[in-house]
């Protein structure tokens, strides 16, 4: 019992902060909606084999372009594949691309951003000029060029291309929060106690710059999924039979005037997914921003 009280006393401020955050979340219905969308999406992706009524790649020429019905809630496509099952399986691909790209972009960007902001000088100068170059080319265009240069087409090429485009944004974010923290007293204190540069960077500075990073990552999950879907719509990315949402819209396009469901449901899936991440990210920003808190 004593230990519990001890813990409570020691972390009193932190517990209060967390309680307050939860209070703010409760008062923001759009944030909750975003979180719910993402939660459902993750569950759908994990349990896809159990939810999807049909094999997403199985064709059935006799049942092609059937409108939504009890058997096929979202109808069938031009090869008679069940669109509902394909949309369900597609969630796996989109989430996989989103999480992989954001993970690697954050990892690369964080390390380089820490280095740039902490050491300053020539290394900072070089890194900043490199990120400048990347910002001068729109991300979808750059990802297109890289995908073309890589010559092969798969969701892995898409991941590689989009990661290549995405990391510079994180260098900027981490660097700017490092710059504001490096002068603070707790870093000074750690330094005077003889902490190594690496320890200061990863144990003291990084944990304190997590909030803006987390917000950006959430928003970027949506943005990455959108760019990847665009790439796949124009013909890069997943192979012919893959149930990828952007690709499904491209395939359904030729039949849309007689079979509206071929493009409507996969596109709606992209929209709702990205909206979920944007609602959550937008809400998190309001909640984590200390200027907006009180």
Partner 1 sequence: MDLKSYIARRLLLAIPTILGVTLIVFFISHVVPADPALVWAGGARARPEQVEQIRQLYHLNEPIWKQYVIFLSDLVRGDLGISPVTGRPVIEDIKTYFPATLELTIFAIALAILIGIPLGVLSAIKKDSPVDHSTRIFALSGYSMPIFWLGLILQLVVYYYLGLVPDPGGRVNTQVYISSEFKTYTNMYLIDSLIQGRFDVFFDALQHLILPGFTLAYATAAIIARMTRSSMLEVIRQDYIEFARARGLPERVVIYKHALRNAMIPTVTVVGLSFGGLLAGAVLTETVFYWPGIGRYMVGTINTLDFPALMGGTILIALVFVIVNLLVDILYAIIDPRIRYG
Side-chain-side CA neighbours of residue 186 (13 Å): 12
User: Does residue number 67 form part of the binding site for partner 1 (CB under 8 A)?
Assistant: no
Nearer to partner 1, 184 or 254 (CB): 254
Closest contact distance (angstroms) between CB of 35 and partner 1 is: 14
The verdict on 202 binding partner 1 (CB under 8 A) reads: no
We find the least distance from the C-beta atom of residue 137 to partner 1, in angstroms, to be: 4
Only segment of 4-12, 16-24, 51-59, 226-234 that touches partner 1 (CB under 8 A): 226-234
Q: Which of residues 232-261 bind partner 1 (CB under 8 A)?
A: 233-236, 246, 249-250, 253, 256-257, 260
Applying CB under 8 A, the site for partner 1 has a residue count of 45
In the complex with partner 1, the residue whose CB is nearer, 26 or 198, is 26
Buried b (16+ CB within 10 A) or exposed e, 169-203: bbbbbbbebbbebbeeeebeebeeeeeeeeebbee
Residue 36, interface with partner 1 (CB under 8 A)? no
Q: How far is the CB of 189 from partner 1 (least distance, A)?
A: 34
List the interface residues with partner 1, window 128-187 (CB under 8 A). 129-130, 132-134, 136-142, 144-146, 148-151
Letters for 205-224 (x = contact with partner 1 by CB under 8 A, - = none) are: -----------------x--
Among residues 32, 282, 286, 288, the one that binds partner 1 under rule CB under 8 A: 282
User: CB-wise, 54 or 245, nearer to partner 1?
Assistant: 245
CB-wise, 149 or 193, nearer to partner 1?
Answer: 149
* CB of 182 or CB of 263, closer to partner 1: 263
State which residue, 43 or 148, has the beta carbon closest to partner 1. Answer: 148
The correct pick among 56, 267, 284, 287 for binding partner 1 (CB under 8 A) is: 267
């Amino acid at each position: 019992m004593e230990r519990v009280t001890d813990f409570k006393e020691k972390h009193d401020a932190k517990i209060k902060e967390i309680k307050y955050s939860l209070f703010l979340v409760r008062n923001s219905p759009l944030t909750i909606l975003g979180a719910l969308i993402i939660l459902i999406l993750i569950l759908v992706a994990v349990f896809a084999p159990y939810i999807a009524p049909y094999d997403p790649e199985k064709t059935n020429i006799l049942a092609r372009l059937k409108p939504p019905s009890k058997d096929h809630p979202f109808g069938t496509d031009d090869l008679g594949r069940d669109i509902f099952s394909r949309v369900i399986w597609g969630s796996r691909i989109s989430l996989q691309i989103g999480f992989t790209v954001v993970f690697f972009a954050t990892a690369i960007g964080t390390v380089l951003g820490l280095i740039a902001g902490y050491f300053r000088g020539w290394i900072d100068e070089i890194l900043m000029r490199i990120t400048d170059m990347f910002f001068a080319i729109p991300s979808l265009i750059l990802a297109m060029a890289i995908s073309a240069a890589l010559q092969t087409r798969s969701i892995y090429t898409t991941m590689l291309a989009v990661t290549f485009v995405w990391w510079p944004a994180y260098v900027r974010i981490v660097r700017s929060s490092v710059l504001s923290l490096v002068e603070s007293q707790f870093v000074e204190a750690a330094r005077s106690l003889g902490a190594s540069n690496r320890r200061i960077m990863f144990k003291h500075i990084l944990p304190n710059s997590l909030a803006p990073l987390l917000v950006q990552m959430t928003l970027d999950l949506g943005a990455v999924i959108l760019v990847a879907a665009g790439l796949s719509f124009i013909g890069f990315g997943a192979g012919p039979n893959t149930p990828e949402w952007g690709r499904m819209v491209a395939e359904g396009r030729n039949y849309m005037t007689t079979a509206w469901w071929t493009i409507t449901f996969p596109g709606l899936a992209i929209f709702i997914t990205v909206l979920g991440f944007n609602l959550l990210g937008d809400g998190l920003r309001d909640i984590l921003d200390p200027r907006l808190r009180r």
